[in-house]
Amino acid sequence: MSFLIELKVPDIGNVSDVEVAEVLIEPGDVIELDQTIVIMESDKATMDLPASAAGTVEEVKVKVGDSVSEGSLIATVRASTEEIAVPPEEKQPPAPEEQPQAEAAEQKPPAEEPAQKQPPAVQRQPAPAIPASGKVSGKAHASPAVRRFARELGVDIGRIEKGSGAKGRILKDDVKNFVKQVMTAGVAAGAGIPSIPEVDFSRFGETEEQPLSKIKRLTGQGMTRVWLNLPMVTQHGEADITEMEAFRQSLNTQQTEGGKKITPLAFIIKALLAAMRQYPQFNASLSADGSKLILKKYFHIGIAVDTPNGLVVPVIRDADRKSIIELVDEMTSLSGRARQGKLLPDDMQGGCMTISSLGGIGGTAFTPIVNAPEVAILGVSRASMKPVWNGQEFLPRLMLPLDLTYDHRVIDGADGARFVMAIADYLGDIRRLLL
Ligand code: CAO
């Protein structure tokens, strides 16, 4: 005899509308009592929802991103009489009136739950400390999503001794805690990277703590990952943009009312695209195992935008098919939305190469960090008038500083220099962009 059992969200305290972060079951799965079936996330905590019954999953009623509260139906499970496991201390002879109810359930799904108590949602505790040796604990018990998350952070999940989820399952928080521990340990476990010692600055004077914005924290993690993984070299160069500037100024003077101001950046994008077409290895990414180069036939350009919350990189798609005016329009719209915090994740994905322009602010040179898995980034500083020797005399020319950082695993130094020179040549004579 079998019964259809509804698995619902139990009492989760005063919290409601909790988001489903992971669904760990699918129809047909055979599950055990207390096995984690869903992971829920509120603002304050992450909770595992254990199965209140063993059996075969018939239907899953929620998906990632759904909001659930106490009583929300998560799934239905078909269980045989033997599978209806009740915790030993609660096992009691069935009350005489319960038996017919259970039998009725068999004929008329969805049935009432048999007398069975829903186990409470498990609020996570931080994962236990990792031994400094970074010892591998055997086969890690984690969902595909958690494994993917660990991979993204470059964490070998096998080094996490035990998860804080039901039955030692490794959860996202465990991976995050592992990374934190590795970053703060005296010597990073296995990596041998000494950490910056913690200092009590209040010993030296008054201090105030200011939490970093989410964007800043994520950017920090991303930058550290790139810094540790990529051997980077920065090639500096200069473009003579005297003529280009004269043309740009004339375009801005002729602008009709309401027309957007054209900054040097639109021309720099055009020159970069031409150089990428000439040197396809710059429009590429290295495969994850480092064995091959994936050449891209599309040209999406990321633009680093400084916002009150930190740095974001929206992407101009198919920039090679856009005119100067279209590029200006799109940059204005993307940087405006970036500063209002209105960019969608899709707006920041798929870039082939990034430009980081500090030209509006100042400076003469800097060394930007590659936005991996891209293989290079073009930094631009402020153009200034310089005396340039033409073989006979010094002439005042407007010179634009260019800083190209590249992944040395993919780009050789000679190609780096050629690429910067190509950009400088295109900017020096923008008629060449027409060829
Ligand atoms: N040389 C001289 N002047 C320049 C210049 C350059 N390289 N680049 C821009 N300018 C001028 C513009 O023409 C404009 O002049 P006016 O005010 O006289 O018209 C002024 O500087 C301001 O330009 P802008 O910065 O507003 O516009 P932009 O198109 O050059 O850049 C954007 C747009 C979004 C890239 C920029 O605003 C920004 O956020 N830059 C910061 C990027 C950053 O933080 N990078 C660091 C990341 S870590 O690598």
pLDDT at 257: 67
Q: Residue 187's pLDDT band (boundaries 50, 70, 90)?
A: very low
Which residues are the active-site residues? 408
Q: What is the pLDDT of residue 387?
A: 98
The confidence score (pLDDT) of residue 381 equals 98
| 86-100, 217-231, 378-392, 402-416: least confident range | 86-100
Residues 429/243, Cβ–Cβ less than 8 Å: yes
User: Which ligand 1 atom is the nearest neighbour of the CA of 261?
Assistant: 19
Tell me the best of 240, 265, 403 to mutate to test the pocket of ligand 1, counting ligand atoms within 8 Å of each CB and taking the most: 265
Quick one: what percent of the chain has pLDDT higher than 70? 83
* 151 or 127, higher pLDDT: 151
Task: Parse the chain into domains and list their residue ranges.
Answer: 2-108, 122-188, 216-223+231-434
Rounded mean pLDDT, 90-118: 37
Contact criterion met (CB below 8 Å) for 368 and 403: yes
- Taken in order 391, 396, 397, 402, is the CA torsion positive or negative? positive
Side chain identity, residue 317: R
pLDDT of 205 strictly over 70: yes
Closest CA relative to residue 274, chosen from 210, 309, 320: 320
Between 193 and 263, the higher pLDDT residue:
263
260 lines ligand 1 (CB under 6 A): no
- The full length of the chain comes to 435
Higher pLDDT, residue 142 or 422: 422
Strand partners, 8: 73
Q: Rounded to whole angstroms, how far apart are CA atoms 371 and 375?
A: 8
Please check the confidence at residue 105 and state whether its pLDDT lies above 60: no
In CATH terms, are 2-108 and 122-188 the same topology? Answer: no
Could you report the per-residue pLDDT of 146-181, keeping only the tens digit for each?
A: 888 888 888 888 888 778 887 788 888 888 888 887
Class of domain 2-108: mainly beta
- Ligand 1 centroid–CA 306 distance in Å is 10
Q: Take residue 8 and report the two structure tokens written for it.
A: 């619902």
For atom 7 of ligand 1, the residue with the nearest CA is 359
pLDDT at 33 exceeding the cut of 50: yes
Q: Is 360 in the pocket of ligand 1 (CB under 6 A)?
A: yes
pLDDT in tens, 51-68: 888 999 999 999 988 999
**Ligand 1 atom with minimal separation from the 303 CA:** 35
Q: Ligand 1: does its nearest atom lie under 6 Å from the Cβ of 356?
A: yes
Helical segments of 153-213, H only: 172-184
Q: Given a cut of 90, is residue 326 above it in pLDDT?
A: yes
Summarised one tens digit per residue, pLDDT across range 373-423 is: 999 999 999 999 999 999 999 999 999 999 999 999 999 999 999 999 999
Q: What is the mean pLDDT of the chain?
A: 84
Find the mean pLDDT for residues 139-147. Answer: 74
Q: Does the structure show a pLDDT above 50 at 136?
A: no
Residue 99 has pLDDT above 50, yes or no: no
Does ligand 1 come within 6 angstroms of the Cβ of 306?
yes
- Residues paired with residue 57 on neighbouring β-strands, in sequence order: 77
pLDDT of residue 120 exceeding 90: no
Provide the 10 A C-beta neighbour count for residue 228. 11
Domain 122-188 is classified in which CATH homologous superfamily? E3-binding domain (4.10.320.10)
For the chain, percent of residues with pLDDT exceeding 90: 60
Give the mutation target among 252, 253, 262, 263 for probing the ligand 1 site: most ligand atoms within 8 A of CB.
263
User: According to the model, what pLDDT value does residue 240 have?
Assistant: 98
Superfamily of domain 216-223+231-434: Chloramphenicol acetyltransferase-like domain (3.30.559.10)
Q: How confident is the model at residue 295 (pLDDT cuts 50, 70, 90)?
A: very high
Residue 383 CA: nearest ligand 1 atom is 1
Residue 312 has pLDDT above 70, yes or no: yes
